Structure 1
Amino acid sequence: MPAAFDFARDTFAFRNELVWEYHPDVRTGRMIPRRAEPRPTFALRCFAMVRAARQFRIHAQFEPGQSRPDEADCGRLVRTVIRRNPRRASAARQRVPIPGFRDLRELSTIHEGLLKQALGGAWRSYVLRSHWRMVFPFSRVHQAREAESLKRALETGRLPVVHVVRFPQLTINHGLLLFAVEPGQNRVDFMAYDPNSTGSAIRLTYHPGTRTFGLPPNHYWAGGRVDVFEIYHGWF
């Protein structure tokens, strides 16, 4: 059985950059957007990054004791991982060997440009099947079921990727990779990899009393309720 997900090892060393910089309005609490300067070169890749982080977990086998491949061979191995099905894990004997690296964090530190190129263009974030789902209402019953489904997935060792959104406001439209669940009193905390940040995990919290999810404030989100559904699983 593979080791538990480790944020410091199983995430990218670089982040998804923001097209807009967000600054809190002290009067309203809302986030005021301004275009980022200089213009970012690697933005709108949040869904590609969480998908790929999951693919490396379920399809790659890091072999730090082996000699490192040259850049061309390394690129070929990375592309092989990213082309595999994000919904179904490879058997141990069918995993892609990544020689000479301890983990994804080390690989993406040394080969940042190669990984960014392999993740593809920003257009990939616009062609997700899940984007049409968010235009329909999210009932509280649906969110309660989603919370229970995500909890069960994590308890059985699966790493759900979720689409986090507020519609029609679109104050947030983002992808997270969940890797642990911590049930508490009147709340359930889902620990998540946020590709917009490389420093630490964040908490996506479900509140059973109101049957709502919430995210705390950060550098791009004012905080508050969000709607959540799993992607790269089933039809989505």
Structure 2
Amino acid sequence: MVLSPFRHPADTLSFANEVLWHYRRDPVTGRQVHQRRVPAPTYTLRCFVLARAVRQFHAHARFDSAAPALDEGEYRRRVREVIRSNPRTRRPADARVLFPGFACLRDFSQRWERLLKAEAGGAWRSYLQRGHWRMIFPFSRTGQAKEAERLVRAVHTGEAVVAHVFTFPALTLNHALVLATATETPARVTFEAYDPNQPNTTVALTFDRDRRQFTLPPVDYFIGGPINVYEVYAGFLR
């Protein structure tokens, strides 16, 4: 089945997974340090929740801005149907859940943010994502090179590819991105991704072919540097 390409921002959510902490690099040690944000944010620890929801809407929903809008109760029922769908499968176009009155997920989420936050799921879904077991085992450079190739192929199918990006055992990063594009050169692969923490801009996930290493630039929740990556929602064990 050929999918419409995953697009940023149209196929993403308008609201953010808020960050609990302020992160910065210690000028003496060079290590990442943090302090709690005040006032405390109210919608947190849901990066995997939002990444999964974006993937589900891309694979199981469709939008029609010309069709008459529905009431809140009917939209809620349809959101629940999408969120209960298997993120590892996709529906044919004529079987997808229709959201009339809106052109895309971004538009729908701007109007119905409260509803989507209530129905997408709690923070526990981020902690209990099925594929988390993988990050505790070693990642070889050869393995990461193969993963980069798999991610490129998956992005080119048009899927909303969810990548688990992390450091381990020091969890200075434990996050989910949704890859939108993949640009290849002889030296590197650059993936432009939807970031649930900063939905209004993309983040560049880079793979260096010589070093066989993924890196993420400095962002609000990570000081930047080498990381490991693997795709989730891509099979029974992930």
TM-score by length of 2: 0.95
Partner of 1:137: 138
Identity %: 47
Where does residue 84 of structure 1 map in the other structure?
85
What is aligned with 2:67? 66
- Conservation of the 8 A alpha-carbon contact between 2:17 and 2:47: yes
Whole-angstrom CA distance in 2 between matches of 1:165 and 1:124: 17
Runs of 4+ in structure 1 off by over 4 angstroms are none
* SS of residue paired to 1:179: strand
Instruction: Give the AA of the match of 2:173.
Output: I
Deviations 1:1-59 (A, max 9, x none): 65432212111110000111213333444332111111221101000101111111111
Match of 1:184 in 2: 185
Cα distance in structure 2, aligned partners of 1:148 and 1:215? 17
Equivalent residues in 2 for 1:138-157, closer than 5 Å: 138-157=139-158
Note if 1:233 corresponds to 2:227: no
1:79-121 deviations in whole A, cap 9, x for unaligned? 1111111111101111000011111111111111100011111
CA distance in 2, matches of 1:95, 1:151: 26
Aligned match of 1:95: 96
Q: Could you tell me which amino acid in structure 2 is paired with residue 11 of structure 1?
A: T
- Is it true that 1:203 corresponds to 2:204 in the alignment? yes
Aligned to 2:13: 12
Q: Is the 8 A contact 1:86 1:232 kept in 2?
A: yes
RMSD across aligned C-alpha pairs, in angstroms?
A: 1.3
1:29·1:222 contact (CA, 8 Å) conserved in 2? Answer: no
Runs of 5+ consecutive residues of structure 1 not aligned to the other structure: none
SS of equivalent to 1:151 = helix
Listed as ranges, the gaps of 5+ residues in structure 2 are none
